Structure formats: C-alpha cells, structure tokens
Structure 1
C-alpha cells in the first residue's frame, strides 16, 4: 500500500484533489442554501447515499493462492485469525461510514431536520448494518449451504435498503431496532456456519477479488504488474478500427489502435479517467477552475497512456518489422493525439453544459488544443528519449 500510495498521491494528483474537493465543497455548500424542507426526493437521496456508503470496506484476509496448501494443516486456527482480520477491517470500514455520514449530515439537516437523538439513532443504524455485513462475510468463508441469506443482493442491498427506508420515512428508532434484529440473526447463523469446514477456494477467490479492486484503483495512476489485462473483442468499435487502412505505412498504427481498444488495462484506464473528468467538470463552476481541471485530467490521461508505446516490445516479431523507428513514433503520436482530442472535445462539451459562458468555453478550448499539441509534439519525444 505504501509503495503505490506514494505514486498515487504525487504532486499532480494532490493538486487535482485539492481543486476537486474545493470545487465540490463549494457546489455542495451553495446547493444546500437552495434546499427547503418538505421536498419528496431528499429522503430517497439519503437512502441511496447511505446504501452506497455501506458497501465501502470489505473483509481483508490477505490469503493467497498458495495458502490452500501451506495453511491447510492450520485450518482449526482460521476462526481465530478471521476474528482478528474482522476487527481490523471493520475498524477501517466504520471510519468510512462515519465520514460518509458526516458529509451527509448537512444535507439531512437542510431537508428533513432531525433531533440529535434521531441523528444518533440513524448513525448507529448504519454502523450496525455494516457489522451485519461483516458477520455474513465471515460465514461466507465456510462451507455454507446456499440460501437467501447467502445471496449478496439480499443481505448487502435489499435488507439494508428496507431498514434505511424505515429509518428515514418512519422512525430512526424503529430502523435501529430492525438493524439490531438483522445483525443478531446473522450472528446466530454465523455460529452454525463456523462449525462447517473452511472453504479455502472461496476465501481465496474473495480476497483476490478485493485486491484486484485495489489494484484497478492504483492502475489509474501507474502500471500495476499484478493486474493482468484481458483482451476483449469489442465488435462495436470495429467501425472505428476500419478507418485505419491496412498499408505497410500503417503497420504500427494498425497494431496500436487494436491494442488500445482490446487492452482491458489501458482502455479501462482511459475510459475511467475520461468519465471521471467529465463528471467533475459537470459540477464545477467558475472561470478558471474548469480550465485547470480539464488541463489536469488531459495531462493525467496522456501521462498514463505513454507507456503503451512499449506494450509490444516483448513480442519478437515487432523487432523484425522492416519499419523505421520514426514511423512507429509517428503512428503512436497520431494515436495519442486522436485519443486526447476526443477527450478534450468531451471535456469541452461538459464545460459548455455546466458554465454556458463564452469566455470560459473559449479559454478551455484554447488551453486544451495547446496542451494536446505540447503533450504529443514535445512531452512524448522527451519521455521516449529518457526511456532509451
């Protein structure tokens, strides 16, 4: 974690994060001033937000594939180990819940004022529901017979949604009572589940899934060797790929264009950063803040796509192509320029929708064009020379 967090929280991302938090905080504050009590939709927003926040924080067991062999003789000790893992994971998860409730509290007070006692009951309900999810997570690591309580949609989404709906629409105290009943039921069932054999394969698969989620987040900022990309056909993009003609001069452009489309690692990174930038630009107002945010995200996308230049270096046939390196570089420049311009247009559309000011739109367009050209014509060759 420390290895990758050092790369995640670099100077560029910290600067972008400060701008994002400031912009969202300002928009949130201004939005709260326009809200009144008696509206029908704020209660739904509270339920949805609390339900989403409830999913943050998963049981970390740190099991690996080899443990099914080397730890099998210690299976009788897994119950005690999982208890320690639970308290560690649940402690972090409860911090997430409290932070989410802290952010949501002004919205609740502005739309449906509650007494301190009712707010406390709502907060405790959220924490009890999270405890019940960890109780189920422990049981799922054992040979549990399939049932409705083992279904993720029921225990993780449907049951908490009912409890939160009762808390918001009826009474927080009644919702708290229902959450305690749900938690107690799962505790009783968990005692029966723990008497079964430990399900090594399921426990390892769940831990691998958790770690892959963390690695995908880190992959937004740097290359992660543990994250194995899977090539996908993506037939719906064949029309775009057909624009690249099959000529000797387009050999690398043909390779790069299909590689970026079918690579789950780079195409996913490009799509996620583009969508994230569009969402943030939709909520950001002002003259210079949208311009800076668009420029920062364009830089992040270009910076993360440059390593794709060496994606095929391990394939021996690419070294046998009778094609000069300059043709390869020009092909990658063309690909990078196209992707960045597509993102720039999407960012500009969001700026137009959010701001509707000719000054902001014009400045954003000029900055994006200049940045894309500098990234492709100046920064990319500099990175390639350093790599060599």
Structure 2
C-alpha cells in the first residue's frame, strides 16, 4: 500500500462488504412486513393527530430538543484495528489524511439520523407550529452544519481525553445545538451571536489535540464495541460467528424454576427453561418483541393493521425462540444421561407455548389498560396463540 488513502480504501471496502453480508438477512422476511405495517400505521396515526393537535403545542421546541440530542451523539467511525498501534506509528504524522476520510464517512453515514426526524416533523411544523418553508430550509442548513461541527468536536475530544467524561462534552454540545436550532426557528436577532459558541468550542478542542499522541487503544476499543453491537443485532436474524451469547443468572427469576416439578421426566423442561432465562440473546429477544406487541396493541388504532402487526411479532417470537433453543450444537451435560432423544424437542415446544401464552396475556393487559373501543381488538391474544401454534407445527 502506497499511503494511508489505500489503507482506508481497503478497510472501507471490507467494512461495507461485512455490513452487506449480514444486513441482507436482517431486512427480509417478517421484519420487512413489520416495518411496512408499523410505518403505515404510524403515518396514519400521525396524520390523524395533526388534525386535532392543539395550536399551542411546542412543535419547534420538541423538534429542536430531539434533533439537538441526536446531534450531540456523533461517535466517529475510524475503522482502526489493533495492529495499527504498531504498524501505523511511523506514519502518525500523516494520520490526519486517514482521519479526514474516516470523519467524512462518519458524517455522511450519520446525517440521516438527524435529517429524518426533521422530514417527519415538517407537517407538524407547518400545520401546528406555523413555520414557513424558508425557515425550515434555514433549519435544514443549520442542522447539517451542526452535524459536521458535532462530529469534529467529538473526534477531537475523544483524541484529547481518550473518551473520559465524553457524556459531559455531549451534554454541552446538546445545549449548544438545541439553542442554535431554536434561534434558527425563531429568527432571533442574536442568531449570529450564538455562532460564537460553536466556533469557540471547536477552536478550544482543536488546540487540545495538537501535540498529543493518537490514543490507539481507545479508538481500537471504540471500533470493537461498535462492530460488536452490530454483530449482536445481526445475530438475532442469522448465525454470526463473531458473537457468542452472554449468560446471566438473573436470581430474581429463581422462584420461577419451582413451577417445574422435581421429577426425572422434567429434566429437559428444567434445562430448557433455565437456558431460556439465562441466555441474554433469547430472553431479551422475546422481551423486546413482547413489548412491541403490547405497544402496538395499545396505540395502533387500525384493527386490521394491529392484528397483522401482533401476528407477525408472534410468528417472529415463536420461530426464533424455537430455533435458538433447538439448534444448539454444543456439548451439554444432559447428553451423558439416558434421556429420550425427543425429550428436548418436546421441552422446547412446551416452553415456546408457555411464553407465547404469556405474551398473549401481556397483549390483553395492554388492550384492557387503554380501553379500546373496537371489540375486535380483544381477539389479539387469540391471534398470538394461534399464530404461534401454527408456526411451531409448520416449522422444522
């Protein structure tokens, strides 16, 4: 490789290929169906709410706070690796040519996170906040500039302090971002004066970086944690060899084990239930999907949409828990005992049925708490149970 530009290019290509390798398993199947119905139902509910929204609703403040908080979280994507602590040391004086590429990618890969909320909020701003299109255009430009500023400051702060007290820095930048966006919305006279704070803050941390060695260990750890979060997310949809599920005892659930009678025939029932409770990936997967089902049942007001939404999540829960508990190829102590081979399969099916009934009960509680008027929504628990049972019977 002739220079650091080639290093970035090769790593960037490998990084994109790694993302594509796993993302094709994420945005397919049931998740795509769920996204379609969630976006459709959410858009319908949003438009209906706008028709009756109060005129004194603080639209500009809400948008400014949400986007300001999102702007403050701007971690850089550097693609730095552990061997760089040795091999890039001779090139440290030229490291900024590599980092400029990294910061450019960080900006463009994160800009949608702050522009999307603004796009979604445009009907709210125009109908409720009475904001003019020209003002929204100025806010858009301000947000783009603030995103660039936040990314540069966070990188400099991470370099100067090796990540220590980063949330304090983010809090200050969030306040500056929120104030600047609010000033843009209101077009106050001291709008230009507010620009002094971002410029001064930027100059302060750029001076702090000069003369300091690059903290390779900190940025390597940041990259490893960032990729690990992605692999853990992708592991919910396909097998990722980089990830091994973490285990936690959860002593507050020990009392639940007593529900399984102490008998020889219940050995696999006990082991499967204990595996489900202690395995983070499986347990939190069911917890998240159940929470989404309850929220959807409570707040999606379109019966057909909420029925499909809850049914899709019931299918996702049943199929993924069954596969997670059945496909384990690792050695287990129960393999040493003379248990019937089909005992574990039956235990897995029994557990899935139990947790899906529990999911149905939670959905019913959500419907009862909200007190929905459509009587057909009280059939949602039945849909959860029926879809789960069909999934278990038809899947391998």
Aligned equivalent of 2:111: 94
> Is 1:318 aligned to 2:334, yes or no?
yes
Structure 1 unaligned segments of length 5 or more: list them: 384-388
Q: Distance in 2 between matches of 1:360 and 1:55?
A: 41
Post-superposition offset of 1:34:
0.9
What residue number does 1:249 align with?
A: 265
Unaligned stretches of 5+ in structure 2?
Answer: 1-18
Q: Deviations over 1:189-222 (max 9, x none)?
A: 2243143101111001111222223223323433
329 and 242 in structure 1: CA distance in 2 versus 1, 3 angstrom threshold? same
Measure the CA separation in 2 of the matches of 1:348 and 1:73.
64
CA contact under 8 A between 1:36 and 1:111: conserved in structure 2? Answer: yes
Whether 1:160 aligns to 2:174 is yes
User: Which of residues 288, 293, 302 in structure 2 aligns to 1:286?
Assistant: 302
Note closer, same or farther for the CA distance 1:55–1:243 as it changes in structure 2 (3 Å cut).
farther
1:290 and 1:351 in contact (8 A); partners too: no
Supply the distance in 1 between the matched residues of 2:177 and 2:71 (Cα, whole angstroms): 12
Contact 2:250 2:278 in 1 (8 A): yes
1:47 aligns with 2:64: yes
1:225 aligns with 2:241: yes
Whether 2:78 is the aligned partner of 1:61: answer yes
| Structure 1 counterpart of 2:32 | 14
Structure 1 residue 206 and structure 2 residue 209: aligned? Answer: no
Match of 2:356 in 1: 340
Mapped contact 1:53–1:100 kept (Cα < 8 A): no
Is 1:60–1:86's contact at 8 Å kept on the other side of the alignment? yes
| Cα shift at 1:258 | 1.6
**Inter-CA distance 143–359: structure 2 relative to 1 (3 Å threshold):** closer
Q: CA RMSD in A?
A: 2.7
Match for residue 46 of structure 2 among 28, 33, 41: 28
Following TM superposition, by how much is the alpha carbon of 1:316 offset from its aligned partner in structure 2, in angstroms?
4.8
- For 1:4, the equivalent position in structure 2 comes to 22
* Other-structure match for 1:71: 88
The correspondence for 1:268, drawn from 273, 284, 287, is 284
How high is the TM-score relative to the length of structure 2?
A: 0.85
Count of residues in correspondence between the two structures: 375
**Which of residues 357, 362, 367 in structure 1 aligns to 2:383?**
367
Aligned partners of 1:286 and 1:355 also within 8 Å: no
Summarize the Cα distance change of 1:326–1:257 in structure 2 as closer, same or farther, 3 Å threshold: same
3-state DSSP of counterpart to 2:161: coil
What is the CA-CA distance between 1:344 and the residue it aligns to? 2.1
Task: Please show how residues 170-185 of structure 1 align to structure 2 within 5 Å.
Answer: 171-172=186-187, 174=190, 177-178=193-194, 181-185=197-201
Distance of aligned partners of 1:167 and 1:217 in 2 relative to their CA distance in 1, 3 Å threshold: same
- Partner Cα distance (1:9, 1:189) in 2: 40
Higher mean displacement: 302-311 or 165-174: 165-174
**TM-aligned CA distance change 1:233 to 1:66, over 3 Å:** farther
Going from structure 1 to structure 2, the CA distance change for 1:224 and 1:172 (only over 3 Å counts) comes to farther
Structure 1 residue aligned with 2:120, among 99, 103, 111? 103
Indicate the larger mover: 314-323 or 192-201. Answer: 314-323
Q: Distance in 2 between matches of 1:176 and 1:259?
A: 59
**How far 1:166 moved relative to its partner?**
6.2
Distance 1:143 1:45, change over 3 A: closer
